[in-house]
Structure 1
Amino acid sequence: MSGTLLQAWQAVANHPLFWVGVTLAAYQLGVALYQRTKLAVFHPVLVSTAVLVLVILAAGQDYAHYREAVQPLQVLLGPATVALAVPLYMNFRRIRSYFWPVLICLLVGGTLATVLAVLLAWLLGAEPMIMMTMAPKSVTSPIAMLVAEQIGGVAALAAVFVMFTGVLGAIFGPVLLRLCGVDHPAAWGMAMGLTAHAVGTSRALEEGEEAGAFSALAMSLMGTATALLLPLAVSLWMVFQG
């Protein structure tokens, strides 16, 4: 009987839709906990990640198997990211009126988010490979992984740093902004988008449409600037060091 149950379990666990369902259920659990408690530690991304790790380990599977099984969900990441253009369009006039503040915020905030991460890693004695992997931590995973490879980092590890940055930004970002007295929707959204990418943008949308629009704008600009300028900056630095 136990052998039959084991075979049945393996058949269920190896079915691609099983892991899609587990992923959606884990995220819904996180959403329910977050809506009920309003505690940052129950952010849906954090809760769903912990639940999925436990389920994958309990099922005796590995990440490669899980990633292959949830390919349908990964395909939807593109349209979901493009959908962030909707609040941008709805608030286009207001965004245009803040052109110079947005540009200055991007240059100052984006530079500090990158330089401080590398500097902190250097002060803690990290190897150059780790520093280059951490440099693009504040942009979305596809861009971060590509840039990390170009500048001498590790793509897979860059994705991990991106995930932690987004989750920690969504948890502690609102608290720090309130402590600093930042309550303007545009400034609130820019800060979250620059530092916590898509996860921060989803948190900014909870504050309002304007904050979400500026966060989506900041995330897009930060990703573009990182992809174009960070490899160039690292190349110039290596030439200067050589």
Structure 2
Amino acid sequence: MAELTSSPFFGIALTALCYVLGVKIQKKTGLVICNSLVLAALMVIAVLTVFHIPYENYNAGGSLINLFLSPATVCIAMSIYAQRETLKRNLLPVLVGCTAGAVASVGSVWALCRLFGLDAALTVSLLPKSVTTPIATAISEGHGGMVPITVAAVIVTGIAGNLCAPLLIRLTKAQGPLEKGLAIGACSHALGTAKALELGEAEGAMSGIAIGLCGIVTTILALFFNLIL
């Protein structure tokens, strides 16, 4: 058993199987809360707990899947290229919207951390929660944060955005693909973009643009916030 679970193929196979089951359950139930990503994560945790499998054994393969995160994010550039004319016509609103989203995200995290008396290391770890993992971990590590906490915060934020995006769009009465895509990408990075792509190609492209722009703005903002922590 130990030899089987320590193989990289175990982590890869378990993750793929749990995700496929999660997708099927989501399609069968049609419930927002039955998100395939959430279900897959819960099923992986359940298997590791029930069979007493060390996380290190699972991560031997799970970490290989993480390597595809950056290339997958870059592939969103294909959708962005297809929407280049829309981007040209709305360049100023896109820049302003992404900047406002990044400022609101980082500013609210900083304010809450100050309110609850969190130390500088934990604050820095949480500041980049709304940007994609490669950028968030670089910001956290570069400013003395705790990378595991940053990764956890990014995952929770992404899943929350993926789950809540349709409801928030209805509540805010957002109409066009530009507004929907930018809002989702600015708040919940790649996991939110997966939901944006379900809404439409234009929404997915705008969300992909927001990932990059908000990542740049957040990186700059982190420099200033780090000075006053």
Give me the TM-score of the superposition, normalised by structure 1: 0.88
What residue number does 2:214 align with?
A: 222
Aligned residue pairs, count: 229
Matched, 1:177 2:169: yes
Q: 2:203 aligns with which of 196, 203, 211?
A: 211
Q: State whether residues 88 and 216 of structure 1, in contact with CA within 8 Å, keep that contact through their aligned partners in structure 2.
A: yes
What residue number does 2:13 align with?
A: 21
Q: 2:107 aligns with which of 110, 115, 125?
A: 115
Matched, 1:237 2:228: yes
Matched, 1:141 2:145: no
Matched, 1:156 2:148: yes
What residue number does 1:86 align with?
A: 78
What residue number does 2:178 align with?
A: 186
Structure 2: gaps (5+ residues): none
Q: 1:130 aligns with which of 102, 122, 141?
A: 122
**Could you give the per-residue CA deviations for residues 71-118 of structure 1, whole angstroms, max 9, x where no partner exists?**
432332232122111110111111111101001101111100111122
SS at match of 1:70: helix
What residue number does 2:188 align with?
A: 196
Aligned partners of 1:136 and 1:16: how far apart in 2?
Answer: 30
Aligned partners of 2:91 and 2:116: how far apart in 1?
Answer: 37
Aligned 1:5-16 pairs, distance under 5 A: 9-16=1-8
Aligned partners of 1:13 and 1:122: how far apart in 2?
Answer: 43
The structure, 1 or 2, with the larger RCO (C-alpha pairs under 8 Å, 6+ apart) is 2
Aligned partners of 1:231 and 1:116: how far apart in 2?
Answer: 13
Aligned partners of 2:215 and 2:31: how far apart in 1?
Answer: 29
- What is the identity percentage for the equivalent residue pairs of Structure 1 and Structure 2? 30
CA drift of 1:193 comes to 0.2
What is the CA RMSD across the aligned residues, in angstroms?
Answer: 1.6
Q: State whether residues 150 and 231 of structure 1, in contact with CA within 8 Å, keep that contact through their aligned partners in structure 2.
A: no
Deviates more, 1:159-168 or 1:179-188: 179-188
Structure 1: gaps (5+ residues): 1-8
Aligned partners of 1:147 and 1:105: how far apart in 2?
Answer: 22
What residue number does 2:69 align with?
A: 77
The structure whose Rg is larger is: 1
Deviates more, 1:53-62 or 1:81-90: 53-62
Q: 1:38 aligns with which of 4, 8, 30?
A: 30
Runs of 4+ with deviation above 6 angstroms: none
The residue identity in structure 2 corresponding to 1:212 is G
Q: State whether residues 121 and 145 of structure 2, in contact with CA within 8 Å, keep that contact through their aligned partners in structure 1.
A: yes
Aligned partners of 2:116 and 2:91: how far apart in 1?
Answer: 37
CA drift of 1:187 comes to 0.4
CA drift of 1:236 comes to 4.0
Give me the TM-score of the superposition, normalised by structure 2: 0.93
CA drift of 1:210 comes to 0.4
